[in-house]
């Protein structure tokens, strides 16, 4: 394992050693992401086998430190891909340079990759004209630090992906213990100039506000609107405008970025229902039957369906019969994994298994972890619909109609568990 200390030079090496001994080589799970060793606080985040640590002796803003560590990961990933020992060794000069730019005396500075890439490159610095230089500095420090001026595309195009992960915890009796959708709207924009964008969706609050004027429409659109519990936005979105008018307006960064995140808990469409039945036959045998039912329009297809049925540690053998797809007992993962490539809406399928157990002296009961599920569906389980995304660029002569727009909905399973 490689521990890289980038952050502070005033720190002595023994701090690094202390961290290595106490956190990295501690033979147990991480019990806290903040570790205090000899009055020094270590914040640590692990990416594959790389530890990123920030160190302080002061009462710093802890949330900011972690946000910064994640941001650092994003920036590095944007420059050289996966964060691995190999890549870090290959790019250590670049990393130094990046750190020098985005962290000054412990204060994070502009960390938008869009802006950073204009003057920190892997190919070495091109000589810049004076104009270019001042453009860089004004962009890095400016109000719109995430976008540079003078971008030009022949074809103005944008892609919107509504990506949702639906989370469920269900009791064995089919009672929903908790369910929520956490969604993201990811935008890829290839637009010229400094376009002003306005994004609209079927947010209940907005629709009801508009519905006041035209009473008969409220009934229609009211049904389709959704209640958003909370949402957060990319820093390009004008938050005060959202707060006062609930309208989402912004000048987007160039390329891909996450416009917003949101969470809903009401009226969620649960794409699948899992019905488990576990029977203990004596001390050495378990009978498991699991039924899954798809619950969406028959014309839609769910993909990459995977059901994971945990088995006890003392399992000696498993026999499985399933109607659809393939099922396998994976001893190393202590689970039966049942995979189905595709499944249409309003269908059901079943698996049954006989699990042979070795007799043990272990008094401790098997904890029965929940049955979990993975899938992907081509709709938004929250019911969110994009109503519009308008683009205005007053200085250049293209209009909203000239922009080619694409919208896609993908619903994935988050933690989708049924207790058994």
Partner 1 sequence: MTDSKYFTTTKKGEIFELKAELNSDKKEKKKEAVKKVIASMTVGKDVSALFPDVVNCMQTDNLELKKLVYLYLMNYAKSQPDMAIMAVNTFVKDCEDPNPLIRALAVRTMGCIRVDKITEYLCEPLRKCLKDEDPYVRKTAAVCVAKLHDINAQLVEDQGFLDTLKDLISDSNPMVVANAVAALSEIAESHPSSNLLDLNPQSINKLLTALNECTEWGQIFILDCLANYMPKDDREAQSICERVTPRLSHANSAVVLSAVKVLMKFMEMLSKDLDYYGTLLKKLAPPLVTLLSAEPELQYVALRNINLIVQKRPEILKHEMKVFFVKYNDPIYVKLEKLDIMIRLASQANIAQVLAELKEYATEVDVDFVRKAVRAIGRCAIKVEQSAERCVSTLLDLIQTKVNYVVQEAIVVIKDIFRKYPNKYESVIATLCENLDSLDEPEARAAMIWIVGEYAERIDNADELLESFLEGFHDESTQVQLQLLTAIVKLFLKKPTETQELVQQVLSLATQDSDNPDLRDRGYIYWRLLSTDPVAAKEVVLAEKPLISEETDLIEPTLLDELICYIGTLASVYHKPPSAFVEGGRGVVHKSLPPRTASSESTESPETAPAGAPSGDQPDVIPAQGDLLGDLLNLDLGPPVSGPPLAASSIQMGAVDLLGGGLDSLIGDTNFGVPPAAAAAPARLGAPISSGLSDLFDLTSGVGTLSGSYVAPKAVWLPAMKAKGLEISGTFTRQVGSISMDLQLTNKALQVMTDFAIQFNRNSFGLAPAAPLQVHAPLSPNQTVEISLPLNTVGSVMKMEPLNNLQVAVKNNIDVFYFSTLYPLHVLFVEDGKMDRQMFLATWKDIPNENEAQFQIRDCPLNTEAASGKLQSSNIFTIAKRNVEGQDMLYQSLKLTNGIWVLAELRIQPGNPSFMDLELSLKCRAPEVSQHVYQAYETILKN
**Residue stretches of the annotated binding site:** 326, 328, 330, 339, 341
Binding partner 1 (rule: CB under 8 A), the pick from 51, 79, 199, 233 is: 233
Contact 354, 285 (CB under 8 A): yes
Q: Which of the ranges 116-124, 188-196, 218-226, 389-397 carries the binding residues for partner 1, by CB under 8 A? A: 116-124
Query: From CA 2, how far away is CA 118, in angstroms rounded?
Result: 30
Residues 179-208 that bind partner 1 (CB under 8 A): 180, 182
9 interacts with partner 1 by CB under 8 A: yes
Q: Tally the C-alpha atoms within 13 A of residue 274's C-alpha that lie toward its C-beta.
A: 30
Structure tokens at 123: 């190919």
User: For the window 291-330, what string marks contact with partner 1 as x by the rule CB under 8 A?
Assistant: ----------------------------------------
83-84-87-90 Cα dihedral, nearest 10 degrees? 130
* Rg, the chain, Cα only: 26
Alpha-carbon gap, residue 307 to 353, rounded angstroms: 13
In angstroms, give the least distance from the CB of 243 to partner 1: 4
Nearer to partner 1 among residue 22 and residue 91 (C-beta): 91
Q: Hey, which residues between 324 and 383 contact partner 1 (CB under 8 A)?
A: 363-365, 367-370, 372
Candidate list 14, 232, 360, 399; residue touching partner 1; CB under 8 A: 232
Q: Are 44 and 23 in contact (CB under 8 A)?
A: yes
**What are residue 35's DSSP bridge partners?**
42
- Are 237 and 253 in contact by the 8 Å Cβ rule? The answer is no
Token representation of residue 212: 């006041």
User: Which tokens is 248 given?
Assistant: 């989402």
Closest separation in Å from C-beta 339 to partner 1? 20
Report the sign of the C-alpha dihedral through residues 167, 169, 175, 179, in that order.
negative
Q: At 392, is the secondary structure helix, strand, or coil?
A: strand
Using the minimum distance from each CB to partner 1, give the nearer residue, 44 or 147: 44
Query: Tell me, what DSSP letter sits at residue 226?
Result: B
**Shortest CB 189 distance to partner 1, Å:** 17
- Nearest approach in angstroms of CB 276 to partner 1 is 15
Based on CB atoms, which residue is closest to partner 1, 33 or 345? Answer: 33
Choices 109-117, 148-156, 269-277, 297-305; region in contact with partner 1 by CB under 8 A = 109-117
Task: State in angstroms the smallest separation of the CB of 221 from partner 1.
Answer: 23
Q: By CB under 8 A, tell whether 231 contacts partner 1.
A: yes
Examine residue 227 and tell whether it contacts partner 1 (CB under 8 A). no
DSSP assignment of 287-306, as one string?
Answer: EEEEEEEE-S-TT-EEEEEE
Burial of 94 from C-beta contacts in 10 A (0-12 / 13-18 / 19+): middle
Nearer to partner 1, 46 or 157 (CB): 46
Length of the chain: 420
Q: Which stretch binds partner 1 (CB under 8 A): 39-47, 150-158, 193-201, 384-392?
A: 39-47
42-101 binders of partner 1 (CB under 8 A): 43-45, 56-64, 66-70, 86, 89-94, 96-97, 100
> CA-CA distance, 274 to 416, in Å (whole number)?
10
What are the distances in angstroms from CA 293 to CA 179, 213, 265, 296, 343?
A: 17, 42, 21, 10, 10
- Closest approach of Cβ 399 to partner 1, in Å? 28
Stretch that binds partner 1, among 156-164, 226-234, 299-307, 397-405 (CB under 8 A): 226-234
22 part of the interface to partner 1, by CB under 8 A: no
Residues 253-272 that bind partner 1 (CB under 8 A): 258, 260-261, 263
Q: How far is 276 from 280, CA to CA, in rounded Å? A: 13
- Which residue stretch of 19-27, 142-150, 153-161, 319-327 sits at the interface with partner 1 (rule: CB under 8 A)? 142-150
Contact pick of 48, 173, 240, 299 for partner 1 (by CB under 8 A): 240
């Amino acid at each position: 394992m490689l521990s890289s200390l980038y952050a502070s030079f005033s720190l002595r090496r023994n701090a690094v050693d202390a961290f290595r001994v106490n956190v990295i080589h501690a033979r147990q799970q991480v019990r806290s992401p903040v570790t205090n060793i000899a009055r020094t606080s270590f914040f640590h985040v692990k990416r594959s086998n790389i530890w990123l640590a920030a160190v302080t002796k002061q009462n710093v803003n802890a949330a900011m430190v972690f946000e910064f560590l994640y941001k650092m990961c994003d920036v590095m990933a944007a420059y050289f891909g996966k964060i691995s020992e190999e890549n870090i060794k290959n790019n250590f000069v670049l990393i130094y340079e990046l750190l020098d730019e985005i962290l000054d005396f412990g204060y994070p500075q502009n960390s938008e990759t869009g802006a950073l890439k204009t003057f920190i490159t892997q190919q070495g610095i091109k000589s810049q004209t004076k104009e270019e230089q001042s453009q860089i500095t004004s962009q890095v420090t400016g109000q719109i630090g995430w976008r540079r001026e003078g971008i030009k595309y022949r074809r103005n195009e944008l892609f919107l992906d509504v990506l949702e992960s639906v989370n469920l915890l269900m009791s064995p009796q089919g009672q929903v213990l908790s369910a929520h959708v956490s969604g993201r709207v990811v935008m890829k924009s290839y637009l010229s100039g400094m376009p002003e964008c306005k994004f609209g969706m079927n947010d209940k609050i907005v629709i009801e506000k508009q519905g006041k004027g035209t009473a008969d429409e409220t009934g229609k659109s009211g049904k389709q609107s959704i209640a958003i519990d909370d949402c957060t936005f990319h820093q390009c979105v004008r938050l005060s405008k959202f707060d006062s008018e609930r309208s989402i307006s912004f000048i987007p960064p160039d390329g891909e970025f996450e416009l917003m995140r949101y969470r809903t808990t009401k009226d969620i469409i649960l794409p699948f229902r899992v019905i488990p039945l576990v029977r203990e036959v004596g001390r050495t045998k378990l009978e498991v039957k699991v039924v899954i039912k798809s619950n969406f329009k028959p014309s839609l297809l769910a993909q990459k369906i995977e059901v994971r049925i945990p088995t006890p540690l003392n399992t000696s053998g498993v026999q499985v019969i399933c109607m659809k797809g393939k099922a396998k007992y994976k001893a190393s993962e202590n689970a039966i994994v049942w995979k189905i490539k595709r499944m249409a809406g309003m269908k059901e399928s079943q698996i049954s298994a006989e699990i042979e157990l070795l007799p043990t002296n272990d008094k401790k009961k098997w904890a029965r972890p929940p049955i979990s599920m993975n899938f992907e569906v081509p709709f938004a389980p929250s019911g969110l619909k994009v109503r519009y995304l308008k683009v205005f660029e007053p200085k250049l002569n293209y209009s909203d109609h000239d922009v080619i727009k694409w919208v896609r909905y993908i619903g994935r399973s988050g933690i989708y568990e049924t207790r058994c």
